[in-house]
Amino acid sequence: MNVRAQGLTSLLASMAVAVIGSAVPSMIGPSMALAAEPHKIEVVIKDKSYKVTGASMPGELTSITIRNEDTIEHGFTSPLLFDVPVKMEGEGVYLKGKGVRAYHIRPGKSITLTFTKGSTKDVETQRIPFWCDMHPDMKGELFLVETKGEVGGG
Ligand SMILES: [Cu+2]
């Protein structure tokens, strides 16, 4: 009996982890987002390339606005958005695969993604790649700057 009970407990525990990964974004994300003004990053897509303005800090609320000024649809995906609750606003399509999140944005449209990534204990500046899942040669980088430094573009 004990063995069965333990098996059930660990099954429930792993289910709870799975739920945290998928359901909490919409439940906790928005209320967290209201608690503080996010660091803002802007990404403009034009001529099949990304142009980034701004940076954020590890462990702090961040919002990335992605504007597609190109003539074709593009995507945005990054490890920055994996494993954390992400709130999307605007006109985009959210795609979810095996541990991957991608957002597709049509020409002339924009989306804003709000999330918190990393920890305030992460003291090193992090370069975080992102790319277009539809055009593998389209790549860019974002920066999470250490807390003691200055965040540009703010
Ligand atoms: Cu693209």
Q: How confident is the model at residue 15 (pLDDT cuts 50, 70, 90)?
A: very low
Ligand 1 mean position to 76 CA, how many Å? 8
Please determine, for residue 49, whether its predicted confidence score (pLDDT) is greater than 80: yes
Ligand 1 mean position to 31 CA, how many Å? 32
Please state the rounded mean pLDDT for residues 21-48: 69
Which range marks the domain in which residue 64 is found? 2-144
pLDDT tens digits, residue range 55-98? 999 999 999 999 999 999 999 999 999 889 999 999 999 998 77
**Tally of domains within the chain:** 1
Confidence (pLDDT) at 132: 96
Structure tokens at 16: 């709870």
Confidence (pLDDT) at 18: 40
Ligand 1 mean position to 137 CA, how many Å? 8
Confidence (pLDDT) at 9: 47
Confidence (pLDDT) at 11: 45
In a domain, 149, yes or no: no
**CATH code of the domain containing 20:** 2.60.40.420
Distance CA 41, CA 54 (A): 5
In a domain, 87, yes or no: yes
Distance CA 51, CA 130 (A): 12
- pTM assigned to the model: 0.71
